[in-house]
Amino acid sequence: MTDAAETPLPPGDAPREGDEEAFHIPDSLALALTEFAAVEQLSRGEAICLILRDYLRAKGYLKGIPSV
């Protein structure tokens, strides 16, 4: 059986709602994320969104979305 992450979508085909791309988070990052989420009293998903939002805003890719 082929892992869904290893099966590319046909050209021009977008992922369907509910599909998630699986990816590997190195153990050191997973541990740091878990610790960050616990200290900040966030779920892992909320922590990931906060980190991505702050990073993308700092790099200039995200504009006009207020901080939470």
Q: How many residues does this entry show for the chain? A: 68
pTM (global) more than 0.75: no
Which among 15, 50, 17 has a CA at the least distance from the CA of 36? 50
The answer as to whether 52 is a domain residue is yes
HSE of 32 in the Cβ direction (CA atoms, 13 Å)? 7
pLDDT digit of tens for each residue in the chain (68 aa)? 344 444 455 555 555 565 566 788 999 999 999 999 999 999 999 999 999 999 999 999 998 766 55
Is 65 among the domain residues? Answer: no
- Can you give the residue range of the structural domain that contains 47? 27-59
If one counts the domains in the chain, the total is 1
Residue 35 lies in a domain: yes
- Is residue 32 a part of any domain in this protein? yes
- Which pLDDT belongs to residue 4? 46
User: Is residue 51 exposed (0-12), middle (13-18) or buried (19+ Cβ within 10 Å)?
Assistant: middle
> Is residue 36 one of the residues assigned to a domain?
yes
How far apart (Å, rounded) are the C-alpha atoms in residues 45 and 68? 14
Residue 51 inside a domain? The answer is yes
Angstrom distance (rounded) from CA 41 to CA 2:
37
Is 3 within the bounds of a domain? no
- Residue 9 is predicted with a pLDDT of 52
